[in-house]
Amino acid sequence: TKSYETLLTEIRGSVALVTLNRPKALNALNSTLMAELADVLSLYEKDDAIGAVVLTGSEKAFAAGADIKEMQGLDFVDAYVSDFIGGWDAVSTFRKPLIAAVSGFALGGGCEVAMMCDFIIASDTAKFGQPEITLGIIPGAGGSQRLTRAVGKAKAMDLVLTGRMMDAAEAERAGLVSRIVPAERLIDEAVEAAQKIASFPRAAVMMAKEAVSRSFEVTLTEGLRFERRLFHSLFATEDQKEGMAAFVEKRKPAFRNR
């Protein structure tokens, strides 16, 4: 396995655990970190042994945003020509399930990266926010779009315009996070969820992710058509035969990712 300057990686069963690791900067997302994250995700996407990935930070911070010290000197032409943060798309285009396990601060780009994941499990200490406005900018990696789709206009406007933080309970009520767990249980709970996902047939899992993700892109009619096409296609898999036979025969299925 490769080693990275700003990430720690660990394989647990069929799950890869990726830990953002810039402790002195509260995991601020600089270009090295985002390039390393894109690199490791591309490896896991190709690796048949990996069925799902958990992305986490430290207890104090998932990530306190894009690296302000790196952005400070940017001018418009630099930002535009280099498509500053364009490389972050590697997180949202990753095709296997990706769970964010968030403890502490998930601010600005940190909140945005968490929202690029398929779902967020939060510790009771998590704090989410889009404080860009306090720096004279606005969210640049999906905060105005994914946050609004997740929590609705009222709360998204409140957070983006005031720059305030919301705690885990508010984030769960608003629909931004799928569950809250005690801080000390966070990694285990997220890895267990990922392991469960990884135990199901790979193609069905990836299509389920693709179908739900599609609902954010297209009309209901088109989304339903897309879902139906994927649904029908799964009847061409051996694992569908195995899953249904096992149910009828009252035994555990032995999936082969075929």
Give residues in contact with ligand CO8 (CB under 6 A): 25-26, 28, 64-69, 84-85, 105, 107-109, 112, 131-132, 135, 137, 139-141
Please state, in angstroms and as integers, the Cα–Cα distance from residue 74 to each residue in 67, 116, 185, 239, following that order. 12, 24, 40, 51
Active-site residue 210, yes or no?
Answer: no
Please state, in angstroms and as integers, the Cα–Cα distance from residue 207 to each residue in 15, 95, 104, 212, following that order. 18, 9, 32, 9
Residue placing its CB nearer to ligand CO8 in the complex, 28 or 193: 28
CA distance 181 to 121: 7
Residue placing its CB nearer to ligand CO8 in the complex, 62 or 255: 62
Q: Which of 88, 98, 10, 54 is nearest to 189 (CA)?
A: 54
Q: Give the torsion through C-alpha atoms of 90, 91, 93, 94, to 10 deg.
A: 100
Say which DSSP state 82 is in. Answer: T
Please report how close the Cβ of residue 74 comes to ligand CO8 at its closest, in angstroms: 8
Please report how close the Cβ of residue 116 comes to ligand CO8 at its closest, in angstroms: 12
Instruction: State the catalytic residue, choosing from 64, 66, 106, 122.
Output: 66
Residue placing its CB nearer to ligand CO8 in the complex, 147 or 174: 147
- Report CA Rg, the chain: 19
Please report how close the Cβ of residue 178 comes to ligand CO8 at its closest, in angstroms: 23
Instruction: State the catalytic residue, choosing from 132, 174, 204, 208.
Output: 132
Active-site residue 112, yes or no?
Answer: yes
Residue placing its CB nearer to ligand CO8 in the complex, 61 or 207: 61
CB 27, CB 110: distance < 8 Å: yes
Active-site residue 66, yes or no?
Answer: yes
Please report how close the Cβ of residue 4 comes to ligand CO8 at its closest, in angstroms: 19
Instruction: State the catalytic residue, choosing from 51, 108, 109, 142.
Output: 109
Pairing of strands 52-56, 15-20: parallel
Give the 3-state secondary structure of 187-251. HHHHHHHHHHHHCCCHHHHHHHHHHHHHCCCCCHHHHHHHHHHHHHHHHHCHHHHHHHHHHHCCC
Residue placing its CB nearer to ligand CO8 in the complex, 7 or 50: 7
Please report how close the Cβ of residue 225 comes to ligand CO8 at its closest, in angstroms: 34
- Catalytically annotated residues: 66, 109, 112, 132
